[in-house]
Amino acid sequence: MLTIKDLYVSVEGKEILKGINLEVKPGEIHAIMGPNGSGKSTLANVLAGKEEFEVTSGEIIYEGEDLLELEPEDRAKKGIFLSFQYPVEIPGVPMVNFLKTAVNEHRKFRGEKEFTAGEFLKMMRQKEQLLDMNAHLTNRSVNEGFSGGEKKKNEIFQMALLQPKLGILDETDSGLDIDALKTVAHGVNALRTPENATIVVTHYQRLLEYIVPDHVHVLYNGKIVKSSGKELALELEEKGYDWIKQENGV
């Protein structure tokens, strides 16, 4: 589904990612862990198409296509979804309009009939239950006045509405209390199918107790320095990132 080959990425002339290789197959969950500043969020944002990240070499093939050639909106419509670490507040854009537009852009792209307002609302109410979303939130402007936890839930709620092939969760657990964490994890798990895949970017092992990964990668200083099964997350939790730093000669 996704193949990243020897990816180098710079931001404002500073090299952040230094040769990333990653292979994600349908049905898999990959966790990308690493200390702060290792490049985890950069990787997530590059996949979504954020422009200030400059790919200096390497390639990303998504479903047989050169992903780097695609605009962010086209990536989204082809099934890539980034759950933002810091969801943006957009005063004046009502949630419902935003969600309906996004869903209908996806439907148009797939050649399906656009939802009417009534059809959309019905669908939305169902997904609200999945994420235990308070209905009043969808009456507000996008993320406006949402608590940290509500913002993160709202990201997974959008994921439920858009049903991506590849979900990328960028530090979705940060700022969540344990109940919200469980709800979010439940949402992510409920959305799993044998055809879609998830990349979970996280600093802590905590989320991985609820979203169990098939593969865990440790990103350090712009490179994946360790890849293994889910047991690696536990080992990291126990030994801390200093273990990785020492192994990599710092």
Q: Whole-number minimum distance, CB 94 to another protein, in Å?
A: 9
Q: Does 130 bind another protein (CB under 8 A)?
A: no
Q: Does 24 bind another protein (CB under 8 A)?
A: no
Q: Provide the residue count of the chain.
A: 250
Q: Are 135 and 128 in contact (CB under 8 A)?
A: yes
Helix (H) or strand (E) holding 92: strand 90-94
Name the one range near another protein by CB under 8 A: 24-32, 105-113, 131-139, 187-195: 105-113
Q: Does 97 bind another protein (CB under 8 A)?
A: yes
Residue with tokens 């200030």: 52
Whole-angstrom distance, CA of residue 196 vs CA of residue 23: 14
Residues 154-213 that bind another protein (CB under 8 A): 158, 162
Helix (H) or strand (E) holding 236: helix 231-239
Q: Whole-number minimum distance, CB 188 to another protein, in Å?
A: 17
Provide the 8-state DSSP code for 142: E
Instruction: Find the binder of another protein among 11, 58, 109, 230 (CB under 8 A).
Output: 109
Helix (H) or strand (E) holding 59: strand 53-62
Q: Are 100 and 120 in contact (CB under 8 A)?
A: yes
Q: Whole-number minimum distance, CB 170 to another protein, in Å?
A: 11
Q: Whole-number minimum distance, CB 23 to another protein, in Å?
A: 23
- Residues at the site binding another protein, with contacts judged by CB under 8 A: 48-51, 71-73, 75-77, 81-82, 84, 87-93, 97-98, 101-102, 105-106, 109, 141-142, 158, 162
